[in-house]
Amino acid sequence: MFTPLKRIFRSGWSSFRRNGGLSLATIFIVVMTISLITFLFLFREVSQFLISDLEEKVDISVYFREDSSTGEILEAKTGLSKIPEVKDIEYISRQEALERFVQRHKDDPLLMESLEEVGENPFLASLNIKAWQASQYETLASFLNNAPFKDLVEKVDYHQRKPIIERLFSITSTINKVGIGISLILVTISFLVAFNTVRLAIHNQRKEISIMRLVGASNWFIRGPFLIQGIIAGFLATLITILIFTLVCWISSPKLEILLPGLDIYSFFLSNFWILLVIQLATGIGIGIIPSLIAIRRHLEV
Query: Using an 8 Å Cβ cutoff, are 7 and 257 in contact?
Result: no
Classified as helix, coil or strand, 131 is: strand
Mean pLDDT of 208-226: 63
Give the pLDDT band of residue 244 (cuts 50, 70, 90).
Answer: very high
84-126 pLDDT, tens digit per residue, is 888 888 888 888 888 888 888 777 778 777 777 777 778 888 8
- Amino acid letter, residue 54: L
**pLDDT given at position 302:** 46
258-277 pLDDT, tens digit per residue, is 877 777 888 888 888 898 88
Cβ neighbours, 10 Å, residue 231 = 17
Query: Using an 8 Å Cβ cutoff, are 250 and 266 in contact?
Result: yes
In 19-86, alpha helices (H): 20-56, 70-81
C-alpha distances (whole Å) from 268 to each of 35, 246, 275 are: 16, 11, 11
Angle in degrees, 0-180, between the axes of helices 20-56 and 2-18, rounded to the nearest 10: 90
Give the pLDDT band of residue 29 (cuts 50, 70, 90).
Answer: confident
Is pLDDT of 243 > 90?
yes
Instruction: Say which residue, 150 or 168, is predicted with more confidence.
Output: 150
Within 8 A by CB and 6+ apart from 95, the residues are 121
Q: What angle do CA 180, 183, 187 make, to 5 degrees?
A: 140
Domains of the chain, CATH where assigned: 2-53+165-299 (no CATH), 58-160 (3.30.70.3040)
The alpha-carbon radius of gyration of the chain (Å, integer) is 32
φ, ψ for residue 71, nearest 5 deg: -60, -40
Query: Using an 8 Å Cβ cutoff, are 52 and 267 in contact?
Result: no
56-94 pLDDT, tens digit per residue, is 767 788 888 888 888 888 888 888 888 888 888 888 888
